[in-house]
Structure 1
Amino acid sequence: MLANQAPPNSYTFPPLLKYSLLPLGSTLHSQTLKRGLLSDPFIVTTLLALYARNNLLPHARRVFEELPMVGIVACNAMLNAFSMNGDMEAAVSLFELMPQRDVISWTTVVNGFALNGNFGASIRFFGKMMSHEDVVDGLVKPNEATCACVLSSCANLDGKVALDCGKQVHGYVLMNEVRLGVFVGTSLINLYGKMGCMSNAENVFRVMVVREVCTWNAMISSLASNGREKKALDMFEQMKLHGLKPNGITFVAVLTACARGNFIWEGLELFRSMWHDFRIEPIMKHYGCVIDLLGRAGHIEEAAEIIRNMPFQPDASVLGAFLGACRIHGAIELGEEISKNVLKLQTQHCGQYVLLSSMNAEKERWDHAADLRREIMEAGIQKIPAYSMVH
């Protein structure tokens, strides 16, 4: 286009910037500056998004500060840049300085706190939104994205307060005719499932008109986590009958159901079918579920064989599941054989060293226990101090 002397305009750069990597993105930024196009809101938002996703917050801030006119679209993009890079203090400061805010402004901050793991602040900011004059006067109305964000925050907290907040959001959705779409419905199922309110989760699932794979995943996972393992497997079969293709998250949920329900053959068959039938490459979580499945049932040797043949080194979750099973079923020698080889390569697994040492101490194998404690000391591994918490 440039070689043919066709001058690019404000429609040219947004799609280029959206899919560009650095340093090409910076070159395109120079082009927009050179051609006097930086006042275009679409170019500005894509530039801010480019620098935000590359963790270049100072660059994004400079673009924003040099704008001749700052509109709500640019402010929302900058709020998102702050949120993506963990600077929620700056995000809130900008939000409070904005002369005008829309639902995207509010939702971006609510979601920003959640993205950075501050779920309590996310819920509190949503509460501030609902009591603010923007909402009270009808200037702003929470949408599906807002509700899904706050429900996700509720699901990541424990206790009655989080559940009550989630129920209030659910009530708001019903009374104000906010669309019970895939995101809100799935978030509600996930929340109720984590809180053990299975009748609520099943009611939401039943009334949903459109169900995507993520919706079925949330329902299967909720059933598996609440003692309804057989129903979780039945739900998996229904999902396939509806023509939906399971993904990696689906298999984590159904393998968890098999482990907790002691469905050994079904679990191993599902694990085998991941690649053969659905071309899904098993990851660490899937191996962890299978080790847990075999370990709970006392098939320690089979679990050890899977660990030996894994395409990557087992992480702390897999080793923890295996050692826990060895401890329950008294297979200390096998636990030591598998674990010590791995721990030599991954000395950061302090918890597994301590567990092995405790297993030997319980069987009065004091020399083995002492050797492991000495290895911890020589490797310079610091045991994480334990603490008690009353909730």
Structure 2
Amino acid sequence: MLSSFTLSLDDALHLLQRFLTSSNQIKQIHSVLLITNALLPSSRKTKFVYNTLIRSHLTTGHYNTSLSLFNHMLANQVKPINLTFPSLIKAASSSFSVSYGVSLHSQALRRGVLRDPFVPTSFVQFYGQVGDPRSSRKMFDEILDPCVVACNTMLDACGRNGEMDSAFELFRRMPVTDVVSWTTVINGFGKNGSHSEAVMLFREMISLVTPNEATLVSVLSSCANLDQGGGVHLGKQIHCYVMRKEIIVTATLGTALLDMYGKGGDLETALIVFNKIYDKKVCAWNAMISALASNGRPERALEMFETMKSRNVNPNGITLLAVLTACARSKLVELGIELFTSVCSEYKITPTSEHYGCMVDLIGRAGLLVDAVNFVKSLQLGADASVLGALLGACKIHEDAELGDKVGKQLIGMQPEHCGQYVALSTLKALGNNWAEAEEMRKVMVEAGIRKIPAYSVLS
């Protein structure tokens, strides 16, 4: 054990750099340094040991340890330098320690390290990640002659917080852009539901800058979610580009292609893509199972799930959603309940409201509305909109106007601006020949300024 030795600062630096990603080794080195009082402010090297320790704990995901090291550093009167702050700022944002990040900002001001552009750039990122775009902008504006990295960080902060007009304006004003700039704006448009804008910007980009994998994944996501299913055509063109350039279909890129083809209903091509993914991680299996379950092949989806487990790929919460959807489409209630219990237990998955909603859909879709109601009542945290929405959907399928009326009114109370609840309730009342009440529900919806979202077919 390292704890039986005395380490010099030079040895500590060497070992920390060697074991930068080894959590156990870093903890042992840290312990020896503490036990032997090697972290006292004896020389400039002490600062570098602290900085390397902070970065090492950050790299291994021990964010709070990185932050507590800074407290220890100050207590030992070791003065931080500009290189100390970026790792600390990242640790604060990763652990969502907003108050600590703000205090780091104060420390950076006091110690005059904001002259190093890398430090304010880190704060731009921090404030963007914790949902404070105004502070991000203020920090960015204080950077004299921001480089492309600082600009890209500001683009990301805007995109994360729904300020795509500001992001696009900055992007157009940037004297120099790179692939990260383009990708960040495309991804920002997609994350904020502006899929057409994402696709149009990609079309412009392709003639100027070579996209990377992150670009392709972002634009494929927008293609998959584009209204009227029009993105599938472009998605196929992107797939052709990938094949023409002989780009390796990683699990991430393959999952994006699978999602696009799955939502477009092209299972044949989806299966071809799936078989060509060289390293099938859980995300790729999830996308393929979901595509099969959502396109009329639930039995094949369940077979795929069993194959996945036989390949020693552990399912996660998304896998469980896809499997429950497959069971619901096949009305395999007993199997669905069995899988819900066994998968959660064996793979330590904590069910979310989405999982409970899928269970209600599974039970209710099979016509077992009493059992579905009892399941909802059994939930310790109560039913949210996704669970009640699934129950309302079951009522609509089986034309149970009385139960649907009760559930629908609860949902409207939870989501008064959601068009789906009004439409479903109006339909149920019409099915029960309550035409006056059905018309009244539509009238309430119109008077509240709630518009029905038009339906479309991806096959048109």
Instruction: Report the TM-score range of the alignment, normalised by the length of the smaller protein.
Output: 0.7 to 0.9
Shift of 1:387: 7.0
Matched, 1:223 2:292: yes
Of residues 184-193 and 288-297 in structure 1, the stretch that sits farther from structure 2 once superposed is 288-297
Give the one of 224, 231, 235 matched to 1:155. 224
Q: 2:91 aligned with 1:19, yes or no?
A: yes
Q: Quick one: which of 353, 361, 367 aligns to 1:284?
A: 353
The answer on whether the counterparts of 2:179 and 2:211 sit within 8 Å (CA) in structure 1 is yes
Match of 2:53 in 1: none
Does residue 192 of the first structure (1) align with residue 264 of the second (2)?
A: no
| 2:149 aligned with 1:77 | no
Q: 1:355 to 1:168 in 2, by over 3 A?
A: closer
Residue 344 of structure 2 aligns with an amino acid whose one-letter code is W
Q: Give the equivalent residue in structure 2 for 1:306.
A: 375
- Name the CA distance, whole Å, in 2 between partners of 1:370 and 1:164: 43
2:388 partner SS: helix
Letter in 1 for 2:158: F
Match of 1:249 in 2: 318
Cα deviations by residue, 1:114-144 (Å, 9 ceiling, x for unpaired):
1211011011111111122xx2xxxxx2111
Residue 130 of structure 1 aligns with which residue? 206
Task: Give the one of 147, 162, 168 matched to 1:92.
Answer: 168
Change (3 A) 1:341 1:261: same
Report the equivalent of 1:108.
184
For 2:235, the equivalent position in structure 1 comes to 166
Residue 50 in 1 paired to residue 116 in 2?
no
Q: Which of 323, 326, 337 is the matching residue for 2:395? A: 326
Show the counterpart of 1:138.
none
Distance 1:323 1:115, change over 3 A: closer
Using the aligned pairs only, state the percent identity.
Answer: 45
Aligned to 1:146: 215
Counterpart secondary structure, 1:11: helix
- In structure 1, list runs of 5 or more residues that go unmatched: 136-140
Query: How many matched pairs?
Result: 379
Q: TM-score, normalised by structure 1?
A: 0.86
Q: C-alpha separation between the residues in 2 aligned to 1:365 and 1:113?
A: 44
- Which range moved further: 111-120 or 291-300? 291-300
Report the Cα offset of residue 215 of structure 1: 0.9
Measure how far apart 1:273 and its partner are. 1.8
Deviates more, 1:87-96 or 1:318-327: 318-327
SS in structure 1 opposite 2:383? coil
SS of the aligned residue for 2:74 comes to coil
Residues 98 and 268 (structure 1), Cα distance of their counterparts in 2 relative to 1, 3 Å cut: same
Contact 2:140 2:154 in 1 (8 A): yes
Among 171, 182, 189, the alignment partner of 2:251 is 182
Aligned-residue Cα RMSD (Å) equals 3.1
Deviations 1:133-171 (A, max 9, x none): xx2xxxxx2111111111111111144641121112112
Q: Distance in 2 between matches of 1:160 and 1:356?
A: 28
Listed one character per residue, the Cα deviations across residues 36-74 of structure 1 (whole Å, up to 9, x for unaligned) are: 322434323321111112232222222222223421211
Amino acid in structure 2 at the alignment position of 1:66: E
Aligned twin of 1:270: 339
Query: What are structure 2's unaligned runs of at least 5 residues?
Result: 1-72
Q: Distance in 1 between matches of 2:250 and 2:437?
A: 58
Equivalent position to 1:339, from 401, 407, 412: 407
Contact 2:429 2:437 in 1 (8 A): no
Q: Which moved more, 1:191-200 or 1:356-365?
A: 356-365
CA distance in 2, matches of 1:354, 1:108: 37
Q: Which moved more, 1:149-158 or 1:305-314?
A: 305-314
Secondary structure of the residue aligned to 2:113 is coil
Which amino acid in structure 2 is aligned with residue 339 of structure 1?
V
Q: 1:238 is matched with which residue: 287, 292, 307?
A: 307
**Deviation for aligned residue 1:353:** 6.9
Distance 2:160 2:430 in 1: 47
CA distance in 2, matches of 1:88, 1:365: 46
Cα distance in 2 between the residues matched to 1:298 and 1:81: 47
Give the secondary-structure state (helix, strand or coil) at the position aligned to 1:209: coil
Q: Is the partner of 2:204 in helix, strand or coil? A: helix
Change in 2 beyond 3 A, CA 1:227/1:46: same
Q: Deviations over 1:319-372 (max 9, x none)?
A: 343334335445445555x63895697483886577557545544579xx8699
CA distance in structure 2 between the aligned counterparts of 1:343 and 1:150, rounded to whole angstroms = 34
Aligned equivalents of 1:277, 1:121: Cα separation in 2: 43
| Contact 1:119–1:153 (Cα < 8 Å) also in 2 | yes
Q: Please state how far the C-alpha of 1:318 moved relative to its aligned partner.
A: 3.1
Q: 2:136 aligns with which of 60, 77, 92?
A: 60
For residue 187 of structure 1, report the CA deviation from its aligned partner: 0.1
Q: Does the aligned pair in 1 maintain the 2:419–2:453 contact within 8 Å?
A: no
Letter of the 1:5 counterpart: Q
Change in 2 beyond 3 A, CA 1:148/1:347:
closer
Matches within 5 A, 1:370-385: 382=448, 384-385=450-451
CA separation of 1:370/1:79 partners in 2, compared to 1, >3 Å: closer, same or farther? closer
